[in-house]
Amino acid sequence: MGNGLPADTKLDYGLTSSYGTGVTGASQVTSHAVTLSGLTPQTTYHYRCSSTNSYGTTTTSDLTFTTPALPVISSVQASSVTGTSAVISWTTNVSTDSKVNYGTSEVYGSTKTHSSSVTSHTITLTGLSPATTYHYQVQSTGSNGTAVSGDYTFTTSSVLGEVIVDDLSPGANCTGTWTAGSGGHDGNYAYVYNRSSSSTATFTWTPNLPVSGNYDVYCWYPSRSNATTKAKYTVYYLGGSTSKTFNQTSNTGKWNLIASNLPFAAGTSGYVRMDNVTGESNSTKYVVADAVMFVRVGGDSTPPTTPANLTAVATSTTAIALNWSASTDDTGVVGYRIYRGGVLVGSSTTTSYTDTGLTPNTRYYYTVSAYDGMANESAKSNTAARCTLSVPPTGSIVVCSKAVGSWSDSPDFTFGNDGVGPGKVLGYKWAWDGSPTHVWTGDEPNWTTLTKTLTADSTTHPWYFHVTGFNYDGVCNGTLDLGPYNYGIAFDRIADAANNPDNFGVIVTTHKPITAVFGNCFYVEEADRTRALCIDAATDLPVGRLVQFAGRLTGSAGQRALTDAVVLDSVDGTAPPAVLTRISDLGGAPPDAFTGGLPGAAGAYNVGLLVRVAGVVTSRGPGWFVLDDGSQATVKVYSNASVADYSFVGATGICALEDDKIVIRTRTQDDVRAYAP
């Protein structure tokens, strides 16, 4: 309104100058305010203000504001983990305070905070129990909101001089009547009813300490119903004793400190004792006895030397083996801690460790530290980086657009994979050749895309695709040989297909009748009986079946045939009748530049055709006989039919070449008929 008069309050806002959302505020005021909620962090909003009274409406121009970013937590890790302490660190993208929730389960229960507003956060946890796995969660709160991490864990170390006496250990003794319970520190514990005064039961834990020195003393008790809140533990040490009372309904299932830095002599002179006097009404509560622990403290503060020469070797798609040179220490190295990416992932008492459960084709960074019996930890070793092996190629990962063993009239074969990157492979090396296997040299080309199209030629048969995957370190893992794949030129007629050199791939696309089937081959010919071809492949198809086929040409020195042959399709049909011919006309002149035929022969080429001849049997033997039809030529006929010398016989069969001579191969005994003795 601009005149200072009261007016109502309205604000429109949204992601563009079209707004989309309107809110109203106080009516008939001169000072206006509206609170917006539910906005998206790190987002620019458009808005305009308007006020209306009896004199009209005033509206501002389009204005903008940008919401700030919420805190984002990253690089959470636990480091410098000892038997009783750990350093938790993380970073945030904006300045926030620092908070760590921690405990022996995801419920946590303990908290440590720093109020300073920083982006690099560090909190040291102390008073931890040795040999205990802790869960922790970090939290950062700033002016723009709160971010909370997921759950992480670390395990405090066991230390030299640590002695645990369980309720069933040799050093445990009791008086009175104690009842055994199931559970506790080592699967068992003992309990007894309380007394308000005048003890009726005691439990004593006596350690056999390896060396003299100062020790922290802890107790452990399980959760059980109706436990006392006033269980008193008394520690008897060198020169005195001290007591502490525990509420056994809380802090269960963990090590609880009774007393710290107490002197003990080596051996069994010190002990911890508890009785069943609690001051509570008689037999109303249970006193629980489970385990105590003595942890040597003080003395040695010198850490071991730093482990050296750390190496990492990928042993599988999910494991990396680490090795390093041993550290030394004045009191002895107890073990080594292994860090992956700065986070403790394991420990070892030797100078080797295998990290498992990793992701394939992913790079990991490792350091190792040494620690001694007093939980002194060395500096971290050199960093060793290694990538897990890539997933080996399989027939379900790398596939071809055409089936193995198939023939194609296109020279292009397209191969695909299921992708590259972490969890898979960085890429593949490949080879495309005529060998079923491949000797890898490392000089093969790389394949890093989803598909690759390769070209075959018609004279190399068959083709094979070889692949091996490699990871980010360039290390190959696994090989795959795919094939055979065949490429041939398509023809309608046998004569055109055969008019090519040996090893040339051909595909006959029109159906041809089968005229003869033998054990390891069969014959096809044109329906007009002009040309035939031997197919060097066994078949269960009958004579008369019409087939499409493909294969590699051979037999240029005589009879043409197809090897590596396959039947592509078959339909019902009938075989053409045999060609009736004189014996002298069998064979014929070479029909093309790639078919040899008979030396010096003339006439129509009929090798491979189904023919019929008749003549007199001039000689015979087991499985054969010779016919003479008077055309100044004879032919050897292969048949198991029984014929007599000088009988007149007709024979139907395939005209074939054998040692540069024409022979006839009959199909069955029915192909031979005797007309006269």
Residues 412, 451 within the same domain: yes
Residues 36, 79 within the same domain: no
Instruction: Give the mean pLDDT of 368-397.
Output: 91
d(CA 246, CA 227): 11
Residues 564, 456 within the same domain: no
The answer to the question of residue 533 being in a domain is yes
Q: Is the peptide bond before 577 cis (omega within 30 degrees of 0)?
A: no
Q: Token pair of 652, please?
A: 């139907």
Strands (E), 277-362: 286-289, 291-297, 308-314, 320-325, 333-340, 343-348, 352-355
d(CA 302, CA 300): 6
Q: Token pair of 94, please?
A: 């904006």
pLDDT tens-digit map of 562-590: 998 999 999 999 999 999 999 999 998 88
d(CA 106, CA 153): 9
Residues 96, 171 within the same domain: no
Q: Is the pLDDT of residue 646 over 70?
A: yes
Residues 192, 288 within the same domain: yes
pLDDT tens-digit map of 496-554: 999 999 999 999 999 999 999 999 999 999 999 999 999 999 999 999 999 999 999 99
Q: Is the pLDDT of residue 97 over 70?
A: yes
Q: Is the pLDDT of residue 157 over 70?
A: no
Residues 417, 475 within the same domain: yes
The answer to the question of residue 4 being in a domain is no
Residues 286, 179 within the same domain: yes
Q: What is the CATH number of the domain that holds 286?
A: 2.60.120.260
Please, what is the Cα angle at 124 between 119 and 127, to 5 degrees? Answer: 160
The answer to the question of residue 504 being in a domain is yes
Give residue 207's pLDDT.
93
Residues 142, 168 within the same domain: no
The answer to the question of residue 1 being in a domain is no
Q: Token pair of 32, please?
A: 């206006």
The answer to the question of residue 394 being in a domain is no
pLDDT tens-digit map of 402-460: 999 889 999 999 999 999 999 999 999 999 999 999 999 999 999 999 999 999 987 77
Give residue 1's pLDDT.
47
Residues 182, 290 within the same domain: yes
Is the separation of the CB atoms in 63 and 79 below 8 Å? no
* In the chain, % of residues over pLDDT 70: 96
What is the span of the domain harbouring residue 513?
489-571
Q: Is the pLDDT of residue 331 over 90?
A: no
Q: Is the pLDDT of residue 677 over 80?
A: no
Edge-to-edge strand list for the sheet holding 476-487: 407-408, 476-487, 463-470, 427-433, 446-447
Give residue 54's pLDDT.
84
Average pLDDT, the chain: 91
The answer to the question of residue 303 being in a domain is no
* Domain total in the chain: 7
Choose the final residue of a domain: 297, 322, 346.
297
Give residue 37's pLDDT.
85
Instruction: Give the mean pLDDT of 154-162.
Output: 69
Sole residue written with tokens 């018609």: 458
Is the separation of the CB atoms in 521 and 538 below 8 Å? yes
Q: Is the pLDDT of residue 299 over 70?
A: no
Q: What is the CATH number of the domain that holds 556?
A: 2.40.50.200
Q: Is the pLDDT of residue 160 over 60?
A: no
What one-character-per-residue DSSP string does 170-238 give? TTEEEES--EEEE-STTSEEEEEE-BSSS-S-EEEE---BSS-EEEEEEEE----TTB-S-EEEEEEET
Residues 604, 557 within the same domain: no
Residues 461, 524 within the same domain: no
Q: What is the CATH number of the domain that holds 404?
A: 2.60.40
Choose the final residue of a domain: 424, 458, 487.
487
Choose the final residue of a domain: 127, 155, 183.
155
Q: Token pair of 581, please?
A: 């011919």
pLDDT tens-digit map of 73-92: 999 998 877 666 788 999 99
Sole residue written with tokens 């071991």: 304
The answer to the question of residue 123 being in a domain is yes
Give residue 3's pLDDT.
61
Give residue 248's pLDDT.
96
Long-range contacts, stretch 72-76, CB < 8 angstroms, 24+ apart: 72/147, 73/138, 73/140, 73/147, 73/148, 73/149, 75/342, 76/138, 76/149, 76/152
Integer angstrom CA distances of residue 347 from 153, 157, 232, 338 = 14, 9, 36, 6
Residues 540, 430 within the same domain: no
The answer to the question of residue 2 being in a domain is no
